[in-house]
Amino acid sequence: MAIERSGELAAAVPLKDASTVILVRDGDRGVEVFLLQRVRGMAFAGGMTVFPGGGVDPSDSAAAVAWAGPPVQWWSERFGTSENLAQALVLAAVRETFEECGVLLAGPTSDTVVADTTAFAPARRQLEAREFTFGEFLEREGLVLRADLLRPWSNWITPVGEGRRYDTRFFVAAAPEGQIADGDTSEADAVRWQTPQEAIAHWQEGGSVLLPPTWSQLTALSRFGSVAEILAAEPQITPILPTLITGDEELRVEFPEQDGYYEAGPHPWAARGAN
C-alpha cells in the first residue's frame, strides 16, 4: 500500500523562492508557448520540458532599478508576499527569461521594449556566470524593467519529501515583437514553440516529460483563444502544495485537477523525483 513520505525528511530541506515565466504568442495554430527541454543529468528537473525560470538571487531584492508597471506593493498583494520578496520575484522572472532564452522584458523608456537583444549577448553570458548583477546590467544599459509586461499566474510548491524544494511563482508574458527566444543556454538541450494542445499531445506520445506544474499550466492555457485573453485573465493565486506518495512500486504526486495527468499513462519522471 502506498504511504505518504514522512515530513521529517523535508523539515531539513528549506524552500527556495523561484520565478518561472510562460512566454506566449499568437500563432497560426492558436496561442503558442515557449518550452525548453532541460539538459539530462542536471540536479533539478534534468531532461524535463519546462518554461524558462529559476531561483531568486539575493541581488534581485537589493537592486534599485527603473521600474515601469504595477508597483511592488501590487505584486506583493497578488502573490501574498512581502514587498521585498515581491520585487525579487519580478526581477528574477525578467532576469531568468533573459538568461535562459534571450528575451528581455525591458526597454529604453517606460513604454518601449528592446527590439533586438543580440547586442546584449556578451552581457547575457556574464549574467549567467554571475559576473555582475541584473540590476547593474539594467543600470549600465539605461534600461527600464517592464513589470507591466508580466502577469501573475500561479504558485506551486515542491512536495514535502523532495531533496530540493522550491516555492515557485509563475508569470505569463507576451513575447516582445522582434525579439527571438532561443536555446542558447547551458541548461537546455532543445527549445520549441508549441500550442498547449501540441505540447500535451507530444508528452502523451512520449516525446517529452512534463512535471505536474508544467502540465497544469499548459492545460489551463489551452482554454484561451488568444494572448490578449490570457493577459486579461486575473487568476486567483492560491499556493498549491502537491502531496508526494511513495510505496514499493509507486511514486505519485497528488494535486488539484490531476485526473487528466494520470489518465495519460505512466510517467518517466517518477523514477527521478517529482516537481
Contact 11, 250 (CB under 8 A): no
Contacts of 68 (CB under 8 A, 6+ apart): 110, 111, 144, 145, 146, 147, 148
- Does the structural domain 3-271 have CATH classification 3.40.50.150? no
Could you state, in order of their start, the residue ranges of all structural domains in the chain?
Answer: 3-271
pLDDT at 185: 66
pLDDT at 68: 97
pLDDT tens for residues 244-261? Answer: 887 656 678 899 988 889
Place of cell 488539484: 256
d(CA 89, CA 198): 29
Query: What radius of gyration do the chain's Cα atoms show?
Result: 18
pLDDT at 273: 42
Distance (Å) of CA 102 to CA 11, 19, 34, 118, 182: 36, 16, 12, 8, 6
Name which of 114, 116, 62, 112 is nearest 84 in CA terms: 62
Q: Residue 266's pLDDT band (boundaries 50, 70, 90)?
A: low
**Backbone φ, ψ for residue 55 (5° rounding):** -75, 150
Burial status of residue 4 (CB atoms within 10 A of its CB: 0-12, 13-18, 19 or more)? middle
pLDDT tens for residues 147-205? Answer: 999 999 999 999 988 888 999 999 999 999 999 999 776 666 689 999 999 999 999 98
**Does pTM surpass 0.85?**
yes
| 203-219: b (≥16 Cβ within 10 Å) or e | beeeebbbbbbbbbbbb
Residue 51 DSSP symbol: -
Name which of 89, 84, 78 is nearest 16 in CA terms: 89
pLDDT at 176: 97
pLDDT at 93: 98
Q: What is the mean pLDDT of residues 103-112?
A: 97
pLDDT tens for residues 49-85? Answer: 999 999 999 999 877 899 999 999 999 999 999 999 9
State the CB neighbour count (10 A cutoff) for residue 95.
28
Q: What is the mean pLDDT of residues 90-108?
A: 96
Query: Which segments of 71-120 does DSSP mark as H helices, in order?
Result: 72-79, 83-101
To the nearest 5 percent, what fractions of the chain are helix, strand and coil?
35, 25, 40
Report residue 80 CA to chain centroid gap.
18
Contact 150, 75 (CB under 8 A): no
Q: Residue 213's pLDDT band (boundaries 50, 70, 90)?
A: very high
Q: What is the mean pLDDT of the chain?
A: 87
> Helices 72-79 & 83-101, crossing angle to 10 degrees?
90
Contact 15, 166 (CB under 8 A): yes
